[in-house]
Amino acid sequence: MLKDTDTLVSQLRAQPPIDRKTNYDRLPDLRKRGKFSVSTRTINLHDPKRDRPIIVDLYLPTAFNLPKVPVIVVSNGLGGQRDRFILLAQHLASQGFLVVVPDHPGSSDLRQKQFFAGLYKENFDAEEYINRPLDITYVLNEL
């Protein structure tokens, strides 16, 4: 494995440097609210392969060509809720991004409350390290 890493690093070093001269003056200033108004929609999905419900909040820039809208996924941390990122999601959507904020059932605030109520021995099930990216993949495929 170390040999593979060394080979990859050698190959990357052999590549010519990328000349990126970005004119930031021509890009939108993401520090300011964008030009799009924002609509919000909540959808309830169910992944049948894992028998897993996934609730998703979508923040959509209005008057935008939806098939070509860039997507940003905001995945909350342990014990998080979808509504934790309302301001961030609205701001990004105002810039023209479709913002997707899924709940992760096994590591949501509900799971944490159930843990503190004594319903689980562990605060976080290690299988959630596998399920969280699978949740995101499933949601993106559904969209």
pLDDT at 111: 66
In a domain, 1, yes or no: no
In a domain, 103, yes or no: yes
The DSSP symbol for 27 reads: S
8 pLDDT band, cuts 50/70/90, is confident
In a domain, 123, yes or no: yes
In a domain, 13, yes or no: no
The pTM for the full model equals 0.72
Beta strands in the chain (DSSP E): 38-47, 52-61, 71-73, 98-102
In a domain, 137, yes or no: yes
In a domain, 135, yes or no: yes
110 pLDDT band, cuts 50/70/90, is low
In a domain, 127, yes or no: yes
Mean pLDDT of 30-55: 93
The DSSP symbol for 118 reads: T
Q: Is the pLDDT of residue 36 over 80?
A: yes
CATH number at residue 138: 3.40.50.1820
In a domain, 46, yes or no: yes
Joined together, the tokens standing for residue 94 give 């105002």
Domain that holds residue 62: 36-142
User: What per-residue string of b and e applies to 106-139 under the rule 16 or more CB within 10 Å gives b?
Assistant: bbbbebbeebeeeeeeeeeeeebeebbebbbebb
The DSSP symbol for 16 reads: P
129 pLDDT band, cuts 50/70/90, is confident
Q: How many domains is the chain partitioned into structurally? A: 1
